[in-house]
Structure 1
Amino acid sequence: MAPAKRINLLFGGLVALLGGFPLVYSLVYLERAPVIQSPATTSLPPGHPNLPENHPPLDYARELAALEERSRAEPQNPDYRTRIGNVYYDMGEYEKAIEAYEQSLALRPQSPSVETDLATCYHLLGQHDRALEILDKVLQYRPHFAQALFNKGIVLHSGRNDLKGAIAAWEELLRTNPNLPQRADIEQRIEQLKASQR
């Protein structure tokens, strides 16, 4: 999976910031999961029966099979487990993504990007406390990690309705990442949240 194709919580949240809608990010983010339509028969040989209803799209199935094979060949390489997690994440299979990310982290602990993706999965499953626990752990050893700070604000805002906590996380993000390209959008969002508390 090419990194450019992945839409993570950070970018989903930024879409909401640009639109200025309080919870649009969650709708956009939940909608970002691929729509699994009936299998395209153009990918199958003529006369081949359709795939079972719950079968993953052929591209995902092929990618997962290739990654699983590589992972078996190099069981100590955490990158394959991470990439498997990313495919499941893109499919909206967050429980399976969690399993793969945890396997990756067992091989390479303290990987902030993987842990942040893991936290995102827990958030999307409604396990906001677990998501915050993981993000706080990341921020203990990488206190300026932009994606974790931004995602912490998202979880606090939409998962816990903790506007003050979200504002604090995003202000810390801006303080520790002064050259953040989305700075103006985040500043605007902070002001909107502050105004909503008055």
Structure 2
Amino acid sequence: MDPKDYIKKQRFYLYVVAALIIGFLGGAIFAVYRLPQVNEPSTASRQQEAAEAIASMEKAVQQKPDDGHAWVELGHAYFDTGQAPKAIQAYTKALELLPGDLNVMTDLGVMYHQDNQHQKAIDLFDQVLKSNPKHEQARFNKGVVLLTGLNDRKGALAEWKTLVQHHPMAAAPSGKMVGDLIDQLEKEEGK
């Protein structure tokens, strides 16, 4: 047998083994991505869980109407499920029982914005910032409302620049750095 034939056969077998391995891995990866995720709850089951949690919280505030923290939790549940008018009611009641809670005031401001009551949102954020000029969420959300609710780009930029002075690593909920948002807005202004 010629040594050149041996090398050709050896290379042939390596190619066959490599092709089998690649085919196996490709099939395994395809199967994993094609199989339904058993542990992942469906949208319907998540909605059902949220509805049950809200019903439980509504019952809690009926049983203890003077529990400000229960009203906050109910407001958060409405917030998380996009029910702005109900969240506004729950947060308003919470603030009657827990006056001056800056975080609840900020969440209420966000809900006013979602309910297209932009000036009420700004007024609330201003109250929070008067008490604590470094309140990160209030400052960020005021910029959001100025930009998206009132179309005041310069006002939004000013708020976010102040935010970055106090909190250089401030980030949007998406994870994007506020400094990057400022740069993007300034570039758009320059066009």
Give TM-score scaled by structure 1 length.
Answer: 0.67
Partner-residue secondary structure (3-state), 1:143:
coil
Relative to structure 1, the CA distance from residue 66 to residue 131 in structure 2 (aligned partners, 3 Å threshold; closer, same or farther) is same
Relative to structure 1, the CA distance from residue 193 to residue 62 in structure 2 (aligned partners, 3 Å threshold; closer, same or farther) is same
Distance 2:186 2:169 in 1: 23
Q: Deviations over 1:149-197 (max 9, x none)?
A: 0001111111111111111100111111235467982112112211222
The structure 2 residue matched to 1:151, chosen from 99, 117, 141, is 141
Other-structure match for 2:181: 189
Distance 2:108 2:157 in 1: 23
Are the equivalent residues in 1 in contact too, given 2:171–2:178 (CA < 8 A)? no
The answer to whether 1:66 aligns with 2:70 is no
Other-structure match for 2:94: 104
Question: Any runs of at least 4 consecutive aligned residues in structure 1 with deviations exceeding 4 A, and if so which?
Answer: 181-184
Other-structure match for 1:168: 158
Distance 1:89 1:144 in 2: 24
* % same residue: 34
Other-structure match for 1:113: 103
Distance 1:127 1:74 in 2: 30
Bigger RCO (CA 8 Å, 6+ sep):
1
Note the C-alpha offset of 1:72: 3.5
The structure 1 residue matched to 2:168, chosen from 175, 178, 184, is 178
Which deviates more, 175-184 or 78-87? Answer: 175-184
Give TM-score scaled by structure 2 length.
Answer: 0.69
More helix by share: 2
Relative to structure 1, the CA distance from residue 179 to residue 193 in structure 2 (aligned partners, 3 Å threshold; closer, same or farther) is closer
RMSD after superposition:
2.4
Q: Which has the larger radius of gyration?
A: 2
Distance 1:181 1:68 in 2: 33
